[in-house]
Structure 1
């Protein structure tokens, strides 16, 4: 990078001239010209006053030039500071600062480097958005395209079920049908997560009655749990409630995902506990399944749980998971209790 004129070097040159030039001129005039007033040579006292005046002038000029220099320097540095502070307050890239290419001193070089950094960050964000869009489009296309072969496979499985085959063959066909169903559910989770992270599902927070929302979700899933012979133990206050600033649709989707995971991975426990704690302002969902480490959670629930965490984080909520061989409990709230096992003690049979 081409080195421009140095701001501080010019500052030192000007100060050097004001400090050394006036005394030198005074000495030369005193030595060769002589100073007289009304043809009377100045006495020693008058010479002292003259020297004092010169040095006073030097000090005043020094202070004035220094003050102007640092005032101008502060103004230029403040412009850079305000540009950086604007980006920090608004979570966006700052606007480029003006730079005088003909001057190009240290401050202008700093401003040019600052502008170059902004351009690099903008280019990086643009590439990141483009790559994210391509990734979301690829996932959406794959989720859509893979449904066709799964549908064909399910058709062949249905046709084979009509044929007379052995019991082992029937068991294999049932396992194939279950695997096809599971693959379809995973693609649905992946597609839903892609839509969430790409902003396709708008986030519309509002003051939400939590007890009423949980009660409506339980009522919607009641028939599904009954069909799977899952006992429902709901602890929902009849009159008391609390409110969260959350998106009701997103919070309902979170509960739907948790209930769906119970059907998929913990249906053998035949039990689900759903509670709303008014005092602690939390939602608790628990089951008596084999636990996340001993079930198919690890093989498939990651995408669904990632979608849950994404939505909760967007709503400024957190989810705590507690799981062992006796079941899994999920606690949702703004500030979770320090120990989830304490909550397990409130669940019948846990």
Structure 2
């Protein structure tokens, strides 16, 4: 940016014009006036010149102090206004607002304010681009999740037809594995779509005081047949006389529990054990299994998106999930953040 006027140059020019230049003119004037005076009045003239010199020096000092004080007061006021705009956005966690700049003078302070406004404009443009890219990514994921269901449905239909044909045991096992893989891909697409809706704020969130004991009992009852089908031992400790309440969305909390139970069926069914506890004293929900642990490849292939969505929902509800996973099983404790 081209500098049109210098603040400090004006400061020096003002001091010279209004302090030193008039003083020098007066000194030369009185010096010449003193030469033309008679010798009889030499002593009186010398005394007068001494007083006038003191007066001029006093005027110079006072004028210098006053003009310097006014300059630095105005300078401090302008810098303070700029600092207040910057600190307000930092203290209140808001986006900074542009400051007024006088384009007719454009001194160093105005150039600083103009640079600050330019930075704000760049940040606004960057935020708009980020928002548009986020919308595009969410729309793309939603469209892909929807479009991929059609070929998966077609594949499942062909597998159903092939199952009706006579074939070897090895071929039947291959078709069963293909059907299982299609189901798993569909579940991953559902998790991805749910996570996209969550992060874009399109998933309804309605927190309300919720009886956690009753909510967990209802969720366990809904999943019990699935665990029984897999011959998984269901060990539950759900007090009926005591309970506690959390300010959560019941639908979101049910989704979190569904994800944990589904992960047991997908990745820890070989352990044949599931433990669900509602600890009223600690206000915790504990879900444990005896599977191979989260470091096992089965977890790495399928549980990432679902757990990310669950963690996002828990964080939104001011809760957290602590995972303890070993080769002998995984334990998840959900409590207040």
State the TM-score, normalized to the length of structure 1.
Answer: 0.86
Alignment partners' CA distance in 1, 2:326 and 2:268: 12
Residue 3 in structure 1 maps to residue 3 in structure 2: yes
Corresponding position of 1:146: 148
Residue matched to 1:339: none
> What is the TM-score normalised by the length of structure 2?
0.89
Which residue in 1 is equivalent to 2:252? Answer: 250
Deviation at 1:22, TM superposition (A): 4.2
Q: Distance in 1 between matches of 2:171 and 2:11?
A: 93
Structure 1: which 5+ residue stretches go unaligned? 336-350
Aligned length: 333
Task: Confirm or deny: 8 A CA contact 1:273 1:287 kept in the other structure.
Answer: yes
Per-residue deviation, 1:19 = 4.6
- The corresponding residue for 1:112 is 114
Aligned counterparts, 1:176-191, within 5 A: 176-191=178-193
1:200-349 equivalences under 5 Å are: 200-335=202-337
Identify the match of residue 65 of structure 1 among 51, 67, 71.
67
Deviations 1:36-84 (A, max 9, x none): 9xx9774665544433333333232222222222222222222222322
What residue number does 1:346 align with? none
Is the Cα contact below 8 Å between 1:18 and 1:58 reproduced in 2?
no
Assess if the C-alpha contact under 8 Å between 1:18 and 1:62 holds in 2. no
Q: Distance in 1 between matches of 2:23 and 2:213?
A: 88
Query: Root-mean-square deviation (CA), in Å?
Result: 2.4
Structure 2 SS opposite 1:296: helix
Alpha-carbon distance in 1 for matches of 2:52, 2:244 = 85
47-56 or 322-331: which moved more? 47-56
- CA-CA distance at 1:229 after TM superposition: 2.5
The separation in 1 between residues aligned to 2:75 and 2:218, in whole angstroms, is 64
**Cross-structure match for 1:29:** 29
Closer, same or farther: CA 110–173 of 1 in aligned 2, 3 Å: same
**1:98 equivalent in structure 2:** 100
Greater CA deviation, 270-279 or 146-155?
270-279
In 2: Cα distance, 1:55 partner to 1:278 partner: 85
**CA contact under 8 A between 1:22 and 1:54: conserved in structure 2?**
no
Q: 1:314-348: per-residue Cα shift (whole Å, max 9, x none)?
A: 2333222221221111122235xxxxxxxxxxxxx
- The 1:290/1:32 distance shift into structure 2, 3 A limit, reads same
* Structure 1 Cα separation of the partners of residues 209 and 61 of structure 2: 68
Between 1:267-276 and 1:213-222, the stretch displaced more is 213-222
In 2: Cα distance, 1:117 partner to 1:151 partner: 51
Displacement after TM superposition at 1:309 (Å): 1.7
Question: Once structures 1 and 2 are overlaid, which stretch shifts more, 218-227 or 297-306?
Answer: 218-227
Per the TM alignment, residue 301 of structure 1 is displaced from its structure 2 partner at its CA by 0.9
Partners of 2:103 and 2:276 in 1: CA distance: 68
Matched, 1:155 2:135: no
Kept in 1: contact 2:30–2:49 (CA 8 A): no
Q: Deviations over 1:158-209 (max 9, x none)?
A: 1111111111111111111111111111111111111111111133334444
Greater CA drift, 71-80 or 239-248 = 239-248
Residue 122 of structure 1, CA deviation: 1.0
What SS is found at the alignment partner of 2:99? coil
The structure-2 alpha-carbon separation of the partners of 1:63 and 1:222, relative to structure 1 and needing over 3 Å to count, comes to farther
- Counterpart CA distance in 2 for 1:213 and 1:182 is 27
Cα distance in 2 for partners of 1:302, 1:331 equals: 18
Q: Structure 1 pair 107/245, CA: closer, same or farther in 2 (3 Å)?
A: farther
Structure 2 match to 1:13:
13
